[in-house]
């Protein structure tokens, strides 16, 4: 299926992502304005609401997709809802078994304040490179994309890729540093 992929190339720590809002132009004929006047622009809408999301790694999930407990600690000076003190840091447990502490990729596009969260680097340096993929299910002409990161370390560089062949191949679309 067609989709977007975000590749984190140099995460210094875990990167929770707040819901991503994708406002895209559908590949449809032009819409009519409010007064039945022809309009050259089709309406904007959030295609993420109809998309599916996946990630190559998630906090609280092992490589086989089973639940595991991971400890994630917030940056100093941030408030957490149910955090515990751990060596002076506010820390929480991620686990797929607990809906309140699960942070799957689907959280990033569900329209709530929930988020996707990558595994902590204490699980290994290979979690410095994590992919999040949105399967849009069809081709779209892009009008606007918004990606919101939580109060956490951001990737020092990351790449937004796109696919026009339903996920068989991806090509760079936008680089961020």
Q: Which residues share a beta bridge with 19?
A: none
Both tokens of 20, joined, read 């991503």
Q: In percent, how much of the chain has pLDDT > 90?
A: 41
Q: What is the mean pLDDT of residues 60-80?
A: 82
pLDDT tens for each residue of 2-19: 555 554 443 333 344 333
Contact assessment for residue 139 and residue 2, using Cβ atoms and an 8 Å cutoff: yes
Structure tokens belonging to residue 21:
């809002």
Domain count, the chain: 1
CA–CA distance, 176 with 87 (Å, rounded to integer) = 33
Q: Taking 50 as the threshold, does the pLDDT of residue 26 lie above it?
A: no
In a domain, 9, yes or no: yes
The answer to whether position 24 is within a domain reads: yes
Yes or no: say if 142 and 24 are a contact pair by the CB < 8 Å rule: yes
Query: Does residue 87 or residue 73 have the better pLDDT?
Result: 73
- pLDDT at residue 31 is higher than 60: no
Residue 36 lies in a domain: no
Flag whether 11 is in a domain. Answer: yes
Does the residue 34 lie in any domain? no
Is 159 among the domain residues?
Answer: yes
Give 133-166 pLDDT, tens digit per residue. 999 989 888 878 888 887 777 788 899 999 989 8
Q: How many CB atoms lie within 10 A of CB 15?
A: 22
Confidence of residue 78 (pLDDT cuts 50, 70, 90): low
**Domain range for 91:** 3-29+42-176
Question: Quick check: is 37 in a domain?
Answer: no
Does 153 reside within a domain?
yes
pLDDT at 117 over 90: yes
């Amino acid at each position: 299926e067609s989709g977007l992929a975000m590749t984190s190339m140099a995460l210094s720590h875990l990167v929770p992502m707040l819901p991503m809002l994708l406002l895209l132009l559908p590949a449809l004929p032009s819409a009519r304005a409010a007064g039945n006047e022809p309009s050259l622009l089709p309406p904007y809408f959030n295609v993420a609401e109809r998309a599916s999301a996946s990630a190559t790694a998630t906090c609280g999930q092992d490589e086989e997709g089973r639940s595991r407990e991971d400890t994630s600690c917030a940056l100093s000076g941030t408030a957490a809802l149910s955090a515990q003190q751990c060596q002076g840091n506010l820390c929480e447990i991620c686990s797929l078994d607990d809906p309140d502490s699960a942070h799957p990729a689907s959280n990033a596009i569900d329209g709530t304040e929930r988020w996707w969260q990558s595994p902590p680097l204490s699980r290994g340096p290979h979690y410095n490179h994590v992919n999040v993929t949105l399967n849009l299910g069809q081709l779209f002409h892009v009008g606007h994309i918004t990606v919101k990161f939580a109060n956490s370390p951001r990737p020092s560089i990351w790449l937004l890729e796109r696919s026009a062949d339903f996920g068989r191949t991806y090509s760079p679309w936008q680089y961020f540093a």
